[in-house]
Amino acid sequence: MLSGVHHVGHVVRDMPAARELYRRMGFRVPLPSVPALPGPDGGPPEPFGAGNTHVAFRGSFLELVTVVDGGTLGEATTVALEVPAAVRGRVAGAIAATAARLAAALARFEGLHILVFTTPDADTAAGYLTAAGVPHEEVTRLRGAGGVPLGFLELDGRSPEGRLAVAEALPDPGAAHPNGAFALVGAVLCVAGDELGATVRRYARYLDEEPRTAGPARVFDLGDQRVAVVPAAALGDVLPGEEPPALPAFVASVVAVRDLTATADLLARAGVPTHPTPAGDLLVPAKAAHGAALVFRQG
**164 and 185, same domain (yes or no):** no
Q: Tell me the residue range of the domain where 75 lies.
A: 4-168
- In angstroms, what CA-CA distances link 246 with 111, 123, 141, 161, 188? 10, 34, 33, 9, 14
Query: Between the CA of residue 121 and those of 9, 166, 167, 173, what are the distances in Å?
Result: 22, 10, 8, 20
Is residue 52 within 8 A of residue 17, CB to CB? The reply is no
Residue 64 counted as domain residue: yes
Give the closest residue to 112 by CA, choosing from 154, 170, 65, 182. Answer: 65
Does some domain include residue 124?
A: yes
Closest CA to 207 of 222, 196, 217: 222
The domain tally of the chain equals: 2
Are 159 and 210 within one domain?
Answer: no
| Domain co-membership, 142 together with 188 | no
Residues 258 and 112 reside in one and the same domain: no
Do 26 and 153 belong together in one domain? yes
Same domain for 213 and 124, yes or no, is no
| 31 falls within a domain | yes
Domain end, chosen from 168, 196, 227, is at 168
Q: Looking at 143, 168, 193, which one is the last position of a domain?
A: 168
Domain co-membership, 146 together with 192:
no
pLDDT tens, position by position, for the chain (299 residues)? Answer: 899 999 999 999 999 999 999 999 999 999 999 988 776 666 677 788 899 999 999 899 999 999 988 778 899 888 877 666 665 666 677 778 888 999 999 999 999 999 999 999 999 999 999 999 999 999 988 765 555 668 999 998 889 999 999 999 988 776 789 999 999 999 999 999 999 999 999 999 999 999 999 999 999 999 999 999 999 999 999 999 999 999 999 999 999 999 999 999 999 999 999 999 999 999 999 999 999 999 999 99
Domain shared by 102 and 206, yes or no? no
Position 36 scores a pLDDT of: 82
Last residue of a domain, one of 168, 192, 221: 168
Q: What is the pLDDT of residue 144?
A: 54
Flag whether the pTM goes above 0.85. yes
Residues 106 and 209 in one domain: no
The confidence score (pLDDT) of residue 185 equals 98
What is the structure's pLDDT at 149?
Answer: 67
How high is the pLDDT of residue 49?
A: 87
**Environment class of 9 (CB within 10 Å of its CB; exposed 0-12, middle 13-18, buried 19+):** buried
Examine the domain organization and report whether 18 and 118 are in the same domain. Answer: yes
Q: Which of 206, 203, 205 is nearest to 218 (CA)?
A: 203
Write the secondary structure of 165-196 as one string of H (helix), E (strand) and C (coil): EEEECCCCCCCCCCCCEEEEEEEEEEECHHHH
